[in-house]
Amino acid sequence: MTKRKAADEVFCRSCGEAIKQASELCPNCGVRNDNYSPASSGGGRSSVHDPAQYETSVSDTWWYGVAAGTGVWVLLVLASALGGDLGAGGGILVLIGWAGLPLSVYFDTQYVRANSEWDPNVAVWVILSAIWFLNIAAGAAYLYRRHQVLGEP
């Protein structure tokens, strides 16, 4: 059985599935389409991020939550390294850190996307901020990158 494609389709160079010629990425495997050109797609997403495309009512103070959440995780790691028993307070800090840091990162990426040339990948930053121990490095890297593009914190 041979694969068939329509006149406005091409075969994906990775998985071989028929995809629309105007598609930037293959919906089956995610590989970039060699024939894609933003000008010819008539409204395709360009490679340059335009903050004017995004409107947000999100506050610019969510970075405080990112900094505090990262700080909470640093304190928890240090406390566990020292062998201290934090009891119920430690459990509450873990819950606050695990919920607060990803939420703060999510809302702050909305603000950054609408107010700078940087278009942060929301899913990547939120997932990294939810993974224990990686979230410390992710929080610090996010705040550093945010400082580069916005000049704050």
| DSSP assigned state of 123 | H
Provide the pLDDT confidence category of residue 3 given band limits of 50, 70 and 90: low
How confident is residue 1, by pLDDT bands cut at 50, 70 and 90? very low
The three-state secondary structure class of 32 is strand
**Per-residue confidence (pLDDT) for residue 38, from 0 to 100:** 56
Pairwise pLDDT comparison (33 vs 86), residue with the higher score: 86
Q: Tell me, what's the pLDDT at 47? A: 57
- pLDDT average, residue stretch 17-38: 75
pLDDT digits (tens, 9 = 90+) for 120-153: 999 999 999 999 889 999 999 999 999 999 988 7
pLDDT of residue 137: 97
pLDDT at 152: 82
Counting Cα atoms < 13 Å in the Cβ hemisphere of 109 gives 17
pLDDT, tens only, 69-103: 999 999 999 988 998 788 888 899 999 999 999 99
Q: Is pLDDT at 7 greater than 80 in this prediction?
A: no
Q: How far apart are CA 15 and CA 120, in angstroms?
A: 28
